[in-house]
Structure 1
């Protein structure tokens, strides 16, 4: 029998690399009230750090134990019952749905379809990861932007140049499948059980190459550096797509996995009558501290092999708005993430080792349609664009505007950095951010700072550094879809993932891609009499 045993607590002071597994096994048998000899197999399914008491840090485990016979269940001991993922129909090999976008949503949608005999075509406006990396490097080092292939567009999506976080708030059995596919493509085994798994941009790039090979081996086809220019429609149903090179592809199923920054595609879809609506998102800055400050705030003076670079997650409700940290990158850098000329956009990125000097996070305040200045479905998109261009104009295009936190609080421009030096991948200009950010964002940051300081000592360090502007926190629109995941405006069109407003982050986008793939398969099965597998 298999039992899930939770809340196994082992003090870090007792643990060494040599005895870790022995302690887990001993504690597991004690929890179950059996001898260690009775455990046939033991596997960690979750591992986290309890840092609530800085002088009593501990690892907390959940394990899956295989034993002979039965034991009495209790609050933290339960008979293991695997979560079930719905079965989906198989397909004839000639069926070729088209997926627009090769981010997590599009790739995992394609993988799920290919697993069931489909031969999906993935259309990606950006480049494959090897070429894309060079385009991004040219932007960061020389200021040469490729509007079609950059931090936002290209194989792997925007998450490729991030921390590669695999945390999610959704509770869906498909999350496990996403992690297993990442692991099969080269991600470290620890992502299967760490409470806060991450891959890192360096490892994630290699995973994208491996995932592409798995897909092409299954018959999927990639069209890189190719943009979808319009949908082909007949009788209010999609019949195919027209591409930027003039080609037309006939298909009865198109998945829109376009990401949150495909503004020209949003506009084109809106012109074609695809129903969408404004969606709230958040706006702010990246804030940088020394990573050692965050480590001490979270772990005290303890140094241990189980403790990596510390992270944090903070939020404070401010009436109708919320200020919060987002996409925190331990040991990471702030990156230039624009996808349009004459604009400044920031994001955060970490390598797998998370061994950089600084820690950074988005520090943002929620904004809503009432802030956008219009009722058009794309008013939020234009609001983002105005802020990004204003940021560029503030420094006359000479770099991203930065300001020390103490100067920001005192409403005086910064002239030079303090202890924290900017890690931004382009040029920076010390200035004042208060006339770049909307007044309600400025006040939201200032009002929430004392609360953040109470939760994380040192957060208000006067030398903490702010870099503007963070606008791409999520999609500014939601494309309306029905219970079959098809557009309410057009049959056979499947809006999906973060760009369509149904996900936020790598795992939730991938899960939505899988869910959409299941619906695409069901659509073909109902029309073609396919079988279920």
Structure 2
């Protein structure tokens, strides 16, 4: 099999792709046995919509076509893994947290017969959806079952964007498993794959039910409160005041379980400070984004709602960038603790909402919050409490982006109605952030307006505060064994400081599960 890149067409019809493939390689039809699509991207920047395809083709005279500059031998992307562990486990391994990292760690452990015990402090997805919907409608927050905590992790309410720059071969494993459990097969070929928050719930449930059939056990609404060690090695976890014996644990707790992080630190786990971003959500109408990004093709039925990615390095040496852009989406209430306000973004599978939104983040470092280990955590919490105090009952503080640059509180909207479910209040967001962060965000917004005319001046609305895209500390692990300073504990995922989204978290979870299985043999005790 060969992999052929850069096949250009103006349509998505298979016969047109086939014709373009034959033409690109100057290949007679008799040489092409079969092909299937591997990747699809779209370019609408010129005067035509152009689809660019990568295909895997079975051909006669393979060596001849491998000489072409856009052709390579199809790589082996099968997930072939055989555990090598020989240290006996007297108890089943435990996975703490069932977000993307924990989910895929538990899946791989289950597939290899390790029968993991999964502990999740939040609720199962259906109960969690009910708790989240109650919060979004009534402002009643459950601190243990919300957008941050529960089956599926924070990603379950961040619309399943699977965009990633990683070239890791495990990417294919992640996408294929999601398709196996019900995701649209198009995620296997789209350059910017997307599932949708509404579709994710069923996928998560089916994945969990399959793991149970393979021998996994799930403990929801169960919070890890303490870690028991002997001579620096894990021997038990304490959860809901009960002791669970274990010698091997994949720790995928997410970026908001700081109470668990503090408990681990007290038991001797090594942590380190890390930079992290903080900022706002910026909201436009999707019609404006379509026109700005697609121009004459803004209504082309072949294209999905447009997205964008913008970055700027400011004069005070801070990176400002858009992240987690949600076409046809919603700004959502995402608090996990009472008295703290957090926003995030999501869209459903059809991406049919009136607005588009994106995080607009400023990279922060010790010069912003201090050099002590938990200074970053205190900095974020103080800003979340300040944002909450600016309004009432979890209303979101908002401001026209143009008024933010002028330093004046907005008193009206200009065509963009905030999509945040619990209502909004006008504030001056310049009073929320420290001066150096305001300076960076001002400079970046002015640059983005030059890059995309109307990005600010079209009535764009800022909502605050976007503060949970990354943790403030890293749970240090060994590069080779992937274990922390507590032997038997494998920190992984975004919350441990080793990933930056659903896909990279899932891959990190798989690799931590592999490391565990390469050290420990299966537990034979039922």
Q: What interval of TM-score do these two structures reach, taking the shorter chain for normalisation?
A: over 0.9
Deviations 1:310-346 (A, max 9, x none): 0011000114211110110000000000000011100
**Structure 1 residue aligned with 2:378:** 382
Query: The residue matched to 2:496 in structure 1 has which SS?
Result: coil
Map 1:5-44 → 2, pairs under 5 A: 5-11=4-10, 15=11, 20-44=13-37
**Structure 1 residue aligned with 2:296:** 301
Task: Indicate yes or no: 2:400 matched with 1:401.
Answer: no
Task: Indicate yes or no: 2:56 matched with 1:64.
Answer: yes
Q: Give the CA deviation at 1:184.
A: 0.2
Unaligned runs of 5+ in 1: none
Q: Give the CA deviation at 1:81.
A: 2.5
* Preserved CA contact (<8 Å) 1:90 1:116: no
**Structure 2 residue aligned with 1:369:** 366
Q: Give the CA deviation at 1:39.
A: 2.3
* Preserved CA contact (<8 Å) 1:479 1:487: no
Deviations 1:398-432 (A, max 9, x none): 61100111211111111222200000021211121
CA distance in 2, matches of 1:417, 1:173: 46
**Structure 1 residue aligned with 2:322:** 325
* Preserved CA contact (<8 Å) 1:253 1:493: yes
Q: Give the CA deviation at 1:27.
A: 0.5
Unaligned runs of 5+ in 2: none
**Structure 2 residue aligned with 1:348:** 345
Task: Indicate yes or no: 2:84 matched with 1:87.
Answer: no
Deviations 1:365-389 (A, max 9, x none): 11012211351x2221111100000
Q: Give the CA deviation at 1:93.
A: 10
Please, which moves more after superposition, 206-215 or 438-447? 438-447
CA distance in 1, matches of 2:48, 2:481: 48
Q: Give the CA deviation at 1:85.
A: 5.3
Deviations 1:214-259 (A, max 9, x none): 1111111100000000111111100010101x22111110111000
Distance 1:220 1:226, change over 3 A: same
**Structure 2 residue aligned with 1:282:** 277
TM-score, normalized by length of structure 2?
A: 0.95
CA distance in 2, matches of 1:81, 1:201: 32
Distance 1:488 1:517, change over 3 A: closer
Task: Indicate yes or no: 2:262 matched with 1:267.
Answer: yes
Q: Give the CA deviation at 1:42.
A: 1.3
Q: Give the CA deviation at 1:66.
A: 1.1
Please, which moves more after superposition, 452-461 or 196-205? 452-461
Q: Give the CA deviation at 1:104.
A: 0.6
**Structure 2 residue aligned with 1:3:** 2
Query: The residue matched to 2:296 in structure 1 has which SS?
Result: coil
Distance 1:398 1:140, change over 3 A: closer
CA distance in 2, matches of 1:486, 1:170: 19
Report the RMSD for the aligned CA atoms in angstroms.
Answer: 1.8
CA distance in 2, matches of 1:95, 1:84: 30
Q: Give the CA deviation at 1:473.
A: 1.5
